[in-house]
Structure 1
Amino acid sequence: MSAWAMGERLRKLGIRLAQTRSTALFQLATELPAAVLARTLGIDITVAVKWQRAAAGDWAAYAAEVSRRNSKA
């Protein structure tokens, strides 16, 4: 089945692909640091940072904590 045909079937079921994609990206942005999000999805880091800010994910605190843990080891 082609991607177009699959998209058409989903639209007929009432599933909006763009909205679903945005929701998935938003969720990922709350769970992953921007650098990981960018690398994993193949998007520019500035786009990943914007998604993260929109999702209110604060990975600066996480990065600081990891840095402190690594320096103690």
Structure 2
Amino acid sequence: MGERPCKLGIRLAETRSTALFQLATQLPGAVLARTLGIDITVAVTWQRAAAGDWGAYAAEASRSNNRPDSSRSGA
């Protein structure tokens, strides 16, 4: 069953992780665990990973906005 997607270039493990990550942004850990039949600790780990560190994101976004953009300078 996994051969056909691989032949098409679909990486099943990465696709599964992406789907879990997306669901974890939208569902509480308990619902995620119950719906997918995974352990609650795994679901909570996915939920925490999906929440991210918004403070770090804001800092990085700020730094990248303050860098000179070589495409705008005509270089």
TM over 0.5: yes
The structure 2 residue matched to 1:33, chosen from 8, 11, 28, is 28
Cα distance, 1:51 vs. partner? 0.2
Structure 2 CA distance, aligned partners of 1:45 and 1:17? 23
Higher helix proportion (structure 1 or 2): 1
Are residue 8 (structure 1) and residue 14 (structure 2) matched? no
* Aligned residues: CA RMSD: 1.1
Partner of 2:49: 54
The structure 1 residue matched to 2:18, chosen from 23, 28, 38, is 23
Structure 1 CA distance, aligned partners of 2:5 and 2:23? 22
Structure 2 CA distance, aligned partners of 1:34 and 1:48? 5
Specify the SS of the correspondent of 2:51. coil
Q: Give 5+ residue unaligned stretches, structure 1.
A: 58-73
- Greater C-alpha radius of gyration: 2
Which residue identity is paired with 1:30? Answer: T
Q: Give 5+ residue unaligned stretches, structure 2.
A: 53-75
Cα distance, 1:39 vs. partner? 0.3
Structure 1 CA distance, aligned partners of 2:44 and 2:4? 33
Count matched residues.
52
